[in-house]
A = this chain, B = another copy of it.
Amino acid sequence: MALRACNQSQATRNGLKEKVLTLDTMNPCVRRVEYAVRGPIVLRALELEQELRQGVKKPFTEVIRANIGDAQAMGQKPITFLRQVLALCVNPDLLSSPNFPDDAKKRAERILQVCGGHSLGAYSISSGIQLIREDVARYIERRDGGIPADPNNIFLSTGASDAIVTVLRLLVAGEGRTRTGVLIPIPQYPLYSAALAELDAVQVDYYLDEEHVWALDVAELRRAVRQARDHCRPRALCVINPGNPTGQVQTRECIEAVIRFAFEERLFLLADEVYQDNVYAEGSQFHSFKKVLTEMGPPYAGQQELASFHSASKGYMGECGFRGGYVEVVNMDAAVQQQMVKLMSVRLCPPVPGQALLDLVVNPPAPSDPSFAQFQAEKQAVLAELAAKAKLAEQVFNEAPGIRCNPVQGAMYSFPRMQLPPRAVQRAQELGLAPDMFFCLRLLEETGICVVPGSGFGQREGTYHFRMTILPPMEKLRPLLEKLSEFHAKFTSEYS
């Protein structure tokens, strides 16, 4: 203390003070946060793009960002109807233009009618515009074969991430051995690990079964929760279905088993269902946790606490930039739900253009509407191409020696496992890098292909993966997959 005071006064004499906020004094929980999807590899990709623009010679002409599920960045065109209605909402002068279909105008008027001052520029109530929450409820009812959804249990959000973090913020409590533990799948989408690190909650890993198309096994859940009870209080279980980064679609039987497990072990369920429209594999079908839970009847139906998340960023529309999303809570304690409303009110409201967009997604044109045919054609074209790309990724990777890829049943990613030679692993360790990070960095430098190493999502010790989106356009995807496989072969022989 004396030394520190002395240093300080010396520094002051030189006219220089230590910063108030440094790595040593900042929030230690924030320091622990990691987020691979936009980590060092993506920063390097940005630099490479700049170098290319400045004319620096590279062994490639463009960087392909296959690191993030961002369909429109990869060239997917927005759905016409969505953008027509939004433009009308943004600039209502266009309502008198003959260049917009009548149903688009009606939809815009319907949305503006319930906006403050009939404008997207006013705040909405914090849980989101009531009419849109009602539309979301009806969407859920249609999706779930008529099981009722209550608009008061639906909260609009700034993308699904915002809602997920809000629910986690409610759940975190305790200290030391009573700290909240949250079960998350490994591999996981790193929003979960990042949020838990910042909230100083305990991340409890359960491993998906790669040998069985990344199935979720209740015995593994049981192992994880039992072990965790030694050092924390497990209170929540996160499930991502369809899986990110793993692409599996859970069976109904699996979901039932998970619900029974959560009920027995007294765990709040978080179901990340943002890829519910992205199911490609024959025989695979999306079952919502809400629907399965309800159909299981008592004691689960009326009691098991659940939050289900969805967004306008994925699906066939891919409107990531608008940050529209929602959460539906089921069986949440009424007083806690009020606390959630309060918590959301501090940030005022989710972006209103994103709310409007979400409304169109959950309430698309009906068959009798003038925009229906075009809407449906555009939607089906996107989903059909995604299905073809999912199949292609699996096929090309599985033809490559040393790479093995589970079927991409849903979502937007392939997550192949690759063999890395021991000398490459050793070289990576010398460089202080995870072996698959070393591979991905080399891949980026030599081919311009940007993918995220499996270590950013979590994987079994000694296994190596990468996550690659299936979003590049078909004519680019095949050469990309082949280039990647070739690079892996070259890398393997270089270090063998």
Stretch of A224-232, A339-347, A399-407, A439-447 contacting B (4+ beta carbons < 8 Å): A339-347
Q: State whether A333 touches B72 (Cβ < 8 A).
A: no
Q: Quick check: B26 and A343 within 8 Å, CB to CB?
A: no
Does the CB pair B321–A123 fall under 8 Å? yes
Provide the bound-state CA to CA distance between A20 and B347, in Å.
26
* A352 proximity list for chain B (CB < 8 A): 321-323
- A159 to B116 CA separation, bound complex (whole angstroms): 18
On chain B, the residues within 8 Å of A123 by CB distance are 68, 70, 73, 320-321
A191 located at the interface, meaning its Cβ lies under 8 Å from any Cβ of chain B in the complex: yes
Contacts A122-B70, A351-B353 given; does A323 touch B169 at CB 8 Å: no
State how many angstroms separate the Cβ of A108 from the closest Cβ of chain B. 11
Interface flags for A70-82 (1: CB within 8 Å of B; 0: not) read: 1111111010000
- Copy total for this chain: 2
A119 within 8 A of B: yes
Contact of A121 (CB < 8 Å), options: B31, B46, B72, B171: B72
* Pairwise interchain contact A321-B124, C-beta atoms closer than 8 A: yes
In contact, B73 and A84 (Cβ under 8 angstroms): no
Interface range for A:
35 or more
**Contacting chain B: which of A91-99, A145-153, A475-483?**
A91-99
Distance in angstroms between the alpha carbons of A339 and B204 in the assembled complex: 24
The residue that A319 contacts in the complex, of B121, B171, B267, with Cβ under 8 A, is: B121
Q: Which 8 A-B pairs have the closest CB atoms?
A: A73-B116, A321-B352, A87-B91, A73-B122, A38-B345, A351-B351, A72-B121, A72-B117
Residues of A within 8 A of B (CB): 15-17, 19-23, 25-28, 30-31, 33-35, 37-39, 46, 68, 70-76, 78, 83-84, 86-87, 90-91, 93-94, 97, 99, 115-117, 119-126, 158-159, 161-162, 165, 169-173, 190-191, 194-195, 198, 235-236, 263, 266-268, 298-299, 303, 305, 317-323, 331-333, 335-336, 339, 342-343, 345-354
Instruction: Beyond the given A20-B236, A27-B171, A321-B352, please list 7 additional residue pairs across the A-B interface where CB-CB is below 8 A.
Output: A21-B336, A26-B173, A38-B348, A70-B122, A116-B321, A322-B351, A323-B348
